[in-house]
Amino acid sequence: MTLAAGEARGMRRVMLGATTAWLAVFTLAPFLIVLAISLVEARFGVPPYEPLFAWSKGLWPVFNGTLANYATLGSDPLYLEAFASSLRIAATSALITLIVAYPMAYAIARARAELRFGLLMLIILPFWTSFLIRVYAWMGLLNSNGLINALLIKLGVINEPLTLLNTEFAVHLGIVYSYLPFMVLPIYAVLERMDWTLLEAAEDLGARPFSAFRRVTLPLSLPGIVAGWLLVFIPALGEFIIPDLLGGPGTLMLGHVLWTEFFSNHDWPLASALAVSLLVMVLVPAAFLYRVLRRAEVAS
């Protein structure tokens, strides 16, 4: 073994060790704490839940674990509805984001090389402002006496202000707006390294531009689409601020339910069970899409 190889191996150990330690302290440990809380019952006191192991009776600790919280989640229609509507809103928002982001990513990838960086910056730049402030700005725009309604009335398109704020439409709008760069960037990254000769080859073989797009560009950009979709869908699923500020009384989303259980009802165990369920819900499609991604990557 050469000196350089030994050094590289030592470096690798340090890097791996640091990564593992970080993940253990800041990801695994908090998850295990949340998981433990989700398995016990709530009580009055500090902390507001029973310990998982009780030492009171005899020599051995008594296991207090119960799946009652999960049973509640599964049986109470409120939670099931929250799950369903969160899934629906996150999925449709991610889809709309994709439809908006794809042409942008495509245009940037096909732009002249010296323009690309500038165009990407224009996509990213608004996101250097605080997320919260930008959502508040949307409240101002969507208000019944906000900018959009004022403009539409002035133009004579409508007589009465439209109810835009505190609707599911506003939630979709907020998610699409907030997460757009997370969709644009991975799709751009894939399109940017695509060999455009492939499109010429498709055209040469008789494919009209749309057919060439459908049969060549689209399948080859699938890894970017999947990555972008995950980056939007997953945070949207647990999104709290956007539905809280822009959503209406009818917008039921998990993030909000979780917040209510935790802060209003002080039911930490139920809130924890919700959090764990949310994580599982995210992991299953993520694992599936990860496999799709890997397969597509092997092919190209």
Q: Which of 108, 180, 271, 296 binds other proteins (CB under 8 A)?
A: 296
Please, which residue, 20 or 211, has the CB nearer to other proteins? 211
Asked if 216 interacts with other proteins (CB under 8 A), we say yes
Residue 246 · residue 171 · CB < 8 Å:
yes
Residue 272 · residue 38 · CB < 8 Å:
yes
Q: Alpha-carbon distance 126 to 82, whole Å?
A: 31
Piece in contact with other proteins (CB under 8 A), picked from 18-26, 77-85, 194-202, 278-286:
194-202
Q: Which of 109, 183, 220, 274 binds other proteins (CB under 8 A)?
A: 220
From the CB of 221, what's the least distance to other proteins, in Å? 10
Asked if 195 interacts with other proteins (CB under 8 A), we say yes
From the CB of 233, what's the least distance to other proteins, in Å? 23
Asked if 112 interacts with other proteins (CB under 8 A), we say no
Please, which residue, 39 or 109, has the CB nearer to other proteins? 109
Asked if 115 interacts with other proteins (CB under 8 A), we say no
Q: Which of 24, 33, 201, 292 binds other proteins (CB under 8 A)?
A: 201
Q: What is the DSSP string of 24-68?
A: IIIIIHHHHHHHHHHTS-B-SSSSSB--SEE-SSSSSPEE----H
Place of tokens 């797009």: 213
Asked if 225 interacts with other proteins (CB under 8 A), we say no
Closest CA to 98 of 187, 169, 32: 187
Q: Alpha-carbon distance 62 to 60, whole Å?
A: 6
CA atoms within 13 A on the CB side of 275: 22
Asked if 151 interacts with other proteins (CB under 8 A), we say no
- Residue 277 Cα distances to 34, 222, 228, 269, angstroms: 11, 28, 23, 12
Piece in contact with other proteins (CB under 8 A), picked from 208-216, 232-240, 248-256, 266-274:
208-216
Asked if 210 interacts with other proteins (CB under 8 A), we say no
Please, which residue, 12 or 208, has the CB nearer to other proteins? 208
Asked if 113 interacts with other proteins (CB under 8 A), we say no
Chain positions contacting other proteins, by CB under 8 A: 195, 197-198, 200-208, 211, 215-216, 219-220, 296, 298-300
